[in-house]
Amino acid sequence: HRTAAVIPAAGRGVRLGPGAPKALRALGGTPMLIHAVRAMAASRAVSLVVVVAPPDGAPGVKNLLDEHALPERTDYLVVPGGETRQESVRRGVEALPGDITAVLVHDAARPLVPVETVDAVVEAVHAGAPAVVPGLPLADTVKEVEPRGKGEPEPVVATPERSLLRAVQTPQGFDREILQRAHGTVAAVGEGATDCAGMVERLGAPVVIVPGHEEAFKVTRPLDLVLAEAVLARRRA
């Protein structure tokens, strides 16, 4: 198997507050994207990292990768992204060379995923699983609601049994062919697949969950940045 990681990093990060695109914001003095690239390249199985940059930001992201020390056994590519995460991932997958057989898709917004988690996903794909997702049990009970206007009370429709739910993370790992088929199939693409594995599920292909890691959380809101800085400080101590 030859394995590549695609990192969608074209989001604006509106929920994080005003400032640079989310992937370019600093964590411990280094852009989140660089942490994410290093996290993928830390796995010896990953021979290529494709970064999907903001549509007008590819040259800047290329410079950023050149400026930072990255493992030399890994190749790096930068391609421009699209309007949605799904579109950005599709562009990253289209840029993969023909000899890549396994693909990880990893959010730039999960900069601190440990290499053990990356390796566990890669191993499951290499062992023959078409789609592999790291996930963790939920701390909160989850309710399905009838959405209403902002601040209005929302009627509860259902309460799924918490023990059956998993909060999923990235990197999600795929057999290259199945990921490409998912991105090329209208039924799978549809509206609102918020992760690639969801698109594979719509194809009817099996998706499995392996244990995720609490440090693979997504930096979305300002509080997540505080947590990420604390995790990094603990690692460096």
Q: Residue 198 interacts with ligand C5P (CB under 6 A)?
A: no
Among 109, 122, 196, 232, contact with ligand C5P (rule: CB under 6 A): 109
Q: What is the Cα–Cα distance from 10 to 89, expressed in whole angstroms? A: 10
Torsion, Cα of 144, 150, 153, 158 (10° steps): 0
Cβ distance to ligand C5P smaller for residue 152 or 191: 191
Q: Residue 161 interacts with ligand C5P (CB under 6 A)?
A: no
Cβ distance to ligand C5P smaller for residue 123 or 136: 136
Q: Residue 196 interacts with ligand C5P (CB under 6 A)?
A: no
Q: Which residues contact 135 (CB under 8 A, 6 or more apart)?
A: 166, 167, 168, 169, 209, 210, 211, 212
Minimum distance, C-beta of residue 153 to ligand C5P, in the bound complex (Å): 27
Minimum distance, C-beta of residue 179 to ligand C5P, in the bound complex (Å): 16
Minimum distance, C-beta of residue 68 to ligand C5P, in the bound complex (Å): 17
Size of the site for ligand C5P (CB under 6 A): 18
Query: What character string, x for contact with ligand C5P (CB under 6 A) and - otherwise, covers 24-63?
Result: ----------------------------x-----------
The one segment of 7-15, 61-69, 93-101, 196-204 that binds ligand C5P by CB under 6 A: 7-15
Of residues 5, 2, 75, the one with CA closest to residue 36: 5
Cβ distance to ligand C5P smaller for residue 81 or 171: 81
Q: Residue 11 interacts with ligand C5P (CB under 6 A)?
A: yes
Q: Residue 22 interacts with ligand C5P (CB under 6 A)?
A: yes
Q: What is the Cα–Cα distance from 168 to 197, expressed in whole angstroms? A: 10
**CB 184 within 8 Å of CB 163:** no
Q: Is 50 exposed, middle or buried (0-12, 13-18, 19+ CB in 10 A)?
A: buried
β strands within the chain, DSSP E: 3-8, 26-27, 30-31, 46-53, 75-80, 102-105, 131-137, 144-145, 156-158, 166-168, 172-175, 208-211
Q: Residue 108 interacts with ligand C5P (CB under 6 A)?
A: yes
